[in-house]
Amino acid sequence: MPSDETKFLLRENQIPTAWFNVVPSMPAPPSPPLHPGTRQPIGPDDLAPLFPMALIAQEVTTDEWVDIPGPVLDAYRLYRPTPLYRARRLERHLGTPARIYYKYEGVSPAGSHKPNTAVPQAYENARAGVKRLTTETGAGQWGSALALACSLFDLDCVVYMVGASYDQKPYRRSMMETWGATVHRSPSDTTEAGRTHVEHQSGSLGIAISEAVEVAAGDSETNYALGSVLNHVCMHQTVIGQEAMRQMEMAGEEPDIVIGCVGGGSNFAGLSFPFVRRRLRGESEARFLAAEPAACPTLTRGVYRYDFGDTSGTTPLLPMYTLGHDFVPPPVHAGGLRYHGDSPLLCGLVRAGLIDAVAYRQNETFEAAVRFARTEGILPAPEPAHAIRAVIAEAESARESGEERVILFGLCGHGHFDMSAYDAYLSGTLEDIEFSEAEMEAALERLPEAPALA
Amino acid sequence: MPSDETKFLLRENQIPTAWFNVVPSMPAPPSPPLHPGTRQPIGPDDLAPLFPMALIAQEVTTDEWVDIPGPVLDAYRLYRPTPLYRARRLERHLGTPARIYYKYEGVSPAGSHKPNTAVPQAYENARAGVKRLTTETGAGQWGSALALACSLFDLDCVVYMVGASYDQKPYRRSMMETWGATVHRSPSDTTEAGRTHVEHQSGSLGIAISEAVEVAAGDSETNYALGSVLNHVCMHQTVIGQEAMRQMEMAGEEPDIVIGCVGGGSNFAGLSFPFVRRRLRGESEARFLAAEPAACPTLTRGVYRYDFGDTSGTTPLLPMYTLGHDFVPPPVHAGGLRYHGDSPLLCGLVRAGLIDAVAYRQNETFEAAVRFARTEGILPAPEPAHAIRAVIAEAESARESGEERVILFGLCGHGHFDMSAYDAYLSGTLEDIEFSEAEMEAALERLPEAPALA
């Protein structure tokens, strides 16, 4: 019997006290990351120049639950638990018998789910005596989250921001600086990598990663932080799904389908993995649907292979769906979804047939975002607008079949720093960029030699 | 005994079901608004061309409680109840024995407290058969809130946005358009008032008001909506203080002082009036402190007189502290605080000695905002940053005297659309604009003839 409430709020003492690790639940253990030189499985020592041992331990653990440290919980209290809403106005607008729920992470000070992992990463680095974290940021969501987290644990934060974004999104930069971070326009003259690519003035995520990693690798008091893809990052995000599960119980509901957008995969992992556990234990029949941009259709069009995590090919090889590590997606406004690969854990579950994927073009995505804003009020970020597009399709199919489907989706951030994209959509100048099969074929030919995956 | 929690959340069924009207509690009844022509008290009929009868009735009611209609409560559920936080990290940073709490209204889709009144105004207009609402907006907070509310009740919304803001804040405009509003750069060629002032290309709130009122007065299906100052607007905002009172009880606390920023006064009224009631009934000893910009110091430097509500002198005369109706404050970044007068109810309580006021300059205000952002995470809007500045002063005085003071303040909005002001502060280019005594003396000489106030 569904509740007649619209908003489901937990008390502070209901913030999860452990992160959920999906690895022990997986039908097959994930293939290990490989050293880019030796092609042998990497060990903790290979990661030690960049990450503190506590995070490396989280990256490789096979424990199902990992306790959340007290100071991390203290910082989570600044914005967690986040609300779960029933989208009653959207349901009415669609005339659907489906009941639609969304977990809203935009209430974090940085405006997205990213602080869920930025906070524990900053904490573990501070505890290990590190003084400074470096990272890269494209659209600015991740850089903002890390700047916030570093301000809470008294760490210096240095962000290499992709040149084009730095110029187009000055307010994201101001936000990071307000939290005390130093923001460099990448390519910068502060690193060898930046100086070598000085001719690529608009920059790229690949160059920005190289700059951030170079600084961290060259200074023992400086580490590097990554905002998605890795196992420990996905694990940190599972506070989302654990809270959502409790809130869906308050709502008197069990989801028939869980929907989220996918860039590197951490948002989708965070919401869905706790529900995937239930499904794998035979306690639920829920389906899972990952929504991605048609301009960067990793899960729907990529190949399942070992590939580098970065564009320049210096990171470990990861087992994942990939469009080729040197595939440079067009500048779609959903900057957080422009990644050539995806989290190996998420890819493994897609490969195992547990998670489906669908890709949408920009204009249909923004059309969904505007419908959502005009019914539910909240202005979604372009990334979760892909999930909203998928939700509307599900709700419309429920209307056609007359089914009382229960839909849960992740609204992982607001769009307050993406209004220029809304402006482009409303004025009819947003382009539906086509994914180029030819370009990808070329990129796939440059995939690194590595063992085949099952 | 204070709670050990940090965040106090109410359930949806704890949203207040009535608005609180402070009028019956006031030591003296407020002096009536006067007709600008006759100087006689205005009646409901004088307001009927602009407002629906239900809102006029709320404007003049002497009932202490006014029931909130069901459809308004339904819309409030999109973001209410809002959270109350204890600022533990700010307390630690200040080393103060004071305990600091803040009520955060930035979780509304428009990012401020303004939807609390935009929603009932849109609802009552829709119920009265009105098809379209017009309004003016400066910084864009109010225009955004009304655009959101109109989208929820299927009304057309036309916003006259001050020219300079229209150019400087394109994203606020996109936000309003995403919710379906039409936004005109003021002065526009759509009205006589706009065409007459075409030479003032940067516009002013006064011109924008004249444009919006002209359109509403000239069309029977169009009404006008105001975002502050009026009695019914202040009353709608009391959901803030009522929730805060319940949340302070959850926290096991009674405030010693309630602090808020003041522009037209509705934010301050909304938080403080329910606590003022308790004080007037002898149930509390709380003090009240209104924080305003030194560049527009209405309560601290103005005179208590009848004056026009608008710059052009066409509205009813209101009893209030005023800097003169044609005083044009310098373009401080706290756009929402640039008003020459204040709510008559608030001014009456200041006059009666129940509410104190203090004024701060821009740089000390932003210094406080940045300290808040780096400890509590949330980026405050420039308006509530004035309140934060006052809170820090109170907390520091508590530290010096060793007192366990309990401070409650209103964080009425986030600063996501004000990052250029942060940028100016961080780069050292923000000016501490001085209030000009000479300019004000001249403005006061132009005050309209009207009966003296007690």
CB-based contacts of B322, cutoff 8 Å, min separation 6: B298, B302, B303, B305, B307, B340, B341, B447
pLDDT tens sequence across A54-69: 999 999 999 999 999 9
Cis peptide before B36 (omega within 30 of 0): no
Q: Give the model's pLDDT for residue B223.
A: 97
Give the nearest partner residue to A170 out of B148, B417, B423, using CB atoms.
Answer: B423
What element of type H or E holds A222? strand A222-224
Backbone dihedral angles phi then psi of residue A405, each to the nearest 5 degrees? -75, 145
* Full strand arrangement of the beta sheet holding A222-224: A182-186, A156-162, A132-137, A222-224
Average per-residue pLDDT for chain B: 94
Question: Do the beta carbons of residue A282 and residue A128 sit within 8 Å?
Answer: no
Backbone dihedral angles phi then psi of residue B300, each to the nearest 5 degrees? -85, -25
Closest-CA residue to A439 (of A290, A264, A302, A261): A302
Show residues of chain A in contact with B107, CB under 8 Å: 107
**Six token digits for residue B62:** 């002497």
Q: Give the model's pLDDT for residue A445.
A: 86
Query: CA–CA separation, A108 vs B7, rounded Å?
Result: 13
List the alpha helices (DSSP H) in A218-301.
231-236, 238-250, 266-280, 298-301
Amino acid symbol at A307: D
CB-based contacts of B262, cutoff 8 Å, min separation 6: B268, B290, B291, B292, B298, B299, B337, B342, B346, B357
Query: CA–CA separation, B224 vs B43, rounded Å?
Result: 17
**Six token digits for residue B223:** 């009404």
Q: Give the model's pLDDT for residue B159.
A: 98
In CATH, A7-13+70-111+232-445 is 3.40.50.1100: yes
Backbone dihedral angles phi then psi of residue B165, each to the nearest 5 degrees? -65, -40
Residue A439: band (very low, low, confident or very high) from pLDDT cuts 50, 70, 90: confident
Alpha carbons within 13 A on the beta-carbon side of B253? 28
Residues forming beta bridges with residue B322, ordered by sequence position = B303
Chain B residues bordering chain A (beta-carbon distance below 8 Å):
5-7, 9-13, 74, 77-79, 85, 89, 107-111, 148, 151-152, 170-171, 174-175, 177-180, 370, 373-379, 416-417, 419-420, 422-423, 426
CB-based contacts of A50, cutoff 8 Å, min separation 6: A213, A216, A217, A223, A224
Is A335's pLDDT higher than 80?
no
DSSP conformational letter for A433: P
Backbone dihedral angles phi then psi of residue B349, each to the nearest 5 degrees? -75, -30
**Mutation for A interface: B116, B152, B374, most A CBs within 10 A:** B374
pLDDT tens sequence across B67-92: 999 999 999 999 999 999 999 999 99
**Mutation for B interface: A419, A425, A430, most B CBs within 10 A:** A419
Distances in whole angstroms, Cα of residue A129 to Cα of each of A56, A322, A390, B142, B307: 15, 36, 44, 47, 62
Q: Given an 8 Å threshold on Cβ–Cβ distance, is A79 in contact with B377?
A: yes
E-strand stretches of B311-404:
317-322, 356-360
Residue A164: band (very low, low, confident or very high) from pLDDT cuts 50, 70, 90: confident
Is B222's pLDDT higher than 90?
yes
For range B147-151, the mean pLDDT: 98
What is the distance between the terminal CA atoms of chain A, rounded to a whole angstrom? Answer: 43
CA A302 to chain B, closest CA, distance in angstroms equals 34
CA B75 to chain A, closest CA, distance in angstroms equals 9
CA B78 to chain A, closest CA, distance in angstroms equals 7
Percent of chain B scored above 90 by pLDDT? 81
pTM of the model: 0.95
Residue B29: band (very low, low, confident or very high) from pLDDT cuts 50, 70, 90: confident
Mean pLDDT lowest among A45-59, A309-323, B227-241:
A309-323
Would you kindly state where each structural domain of chain A is located, as residue ranges? 7-13+70-111+232-445
For range A299-318, the mean pLDDT: 89
Backbone dihedral angles phi then psi of residue A223, each to the nearest 5 degrees? -120, 175
